[in-house]
Amino acid sequence: MAEHVRLHRMTNEQAAKARPLRWKLFNLIYLLFYFPEWLWRPPSLTDIAAIIIGVAVFLPLYLRAFETGGKNGLKSMFAMEAIALALSPFSGLHGVFHIYACVQAGFLRPGKLAVKWIIGLTLFYAAFTLLSTNDLQEWFNAIFAVVFGVISGIGVISSAEAYENAKIRERAQSVERQHARLAERERIAHDLHDVLGHTLTMVTLKSEVAAKLIEKDPERAREEIDEVAAAARGALAEIRETVYGMTITTHDTELDLALRALADAGIALKVAGDIPHLDANQSK
């Protein structure tokens, strides 16, 4: 269970991907603590059947356990402690399930609540052992489970907080990315509005001029129509660039488009003073 301490050194993405499965599979190794007693106390068929049933009940709980806070965390903790108590009459270090319960308690939030539950589990398990048996070996096993459970539970509190903070930061970054995408969409919509607005105004005015000149001055009408086609091609190129986030417009460009559109309509526009220089971000 020492791999808890490595979580705060990972990036948010690495922790999110690595912890749920790899960490849990690694820590199943602590189930091996259950079996050394069988070396000097050969198990009966009942002992073997008991641990098989216990592990079968434990594994689904384990794969859903070790999450911060919530009622599910408490349920997992109680269930693991119950497995430890249920296996107490059989040969083997049933206290290993008490250790897993203490680790689950370490994930409860806030941290003070986790400490209280670890202390409560420790006192309960110690009292249960003292009252249920006079076997010195059982007492020794209980001491091991109690000490290791406290160390593991307390040790996991800080790493659980670090992991929870990492998830909060990841959610915050996700929200920021969504806001950035929305801002980019608004920018593109604004650019498209400007491009289409200028172009359609110019096309409308030049089309009206061409319609009036088509009989009086066909050559001039053809020039106006050519300019309409050129403006449409230019607008199409600008729209493509805008969609790809490449369009950078300036006040000079916008003013030139306005002057040309008004001139075609026979309106004179006079600009007084100098246009200040603005960078790309200010010009948007």
**Tens-binned pLDDT, residue by residue, of the chain (284 aa):** 444 434 344 444 444 444 556 777 888 888 998 998 888 888 999 999 999 999 999 998 888 777 655 567 888 899 999 999 999 999 889 999 999 999 889 888 888 888 999 999 999 999 999 998 888 888 888 899 999 999 988 888 877 777 677 777 777 777 777 777 777 777 777 766 666 676 777 777 777 777 777 777 777 777 777 777 777 777 777 777 766 655 455 666 667 767 766 666 667 767 776 666 655 555 44
Residue 89 is classified by DSSP as: T
128 CB-near residues (< 8 Å, 6+ apart):
85, 88
User: Quick check: helix, strand or coil at residue 65?
Assistant: coil
62-97 burial: b if 16+ Cβ within 10 Å, else e: beebbbeeeeebeebbbbbbebbbebbebbbbbbbb
End-to-end CA distance of the chain: give it in Å, rounded. 55
Q: In the prediction, which pLDDT does 8 show?
A: 40
- Cα 47–52–56 angle (5° rounding)? 150
The count of residues in the chain is 284
Contact (Cβ atoms closer than 8 angstroms) between residue 77 and residue 105: yes
Nearest-angstrom CA–CA distance, 232 and 234: 5
Is this prediction's pTM over 0.85? Answer: no
Q: What share of the chain is helix, strand, coil (3-state, %, to 5)?
A: 80, 0, 20
pLDDT at 150: 92
pLDDT at 99: 93
What pLDDT score was predicted for residue 4?
Answer: 41
> DSSP secondary-structure letter at 266?
T
Please report the pLDDT score of residue 185 as a whole number: 75
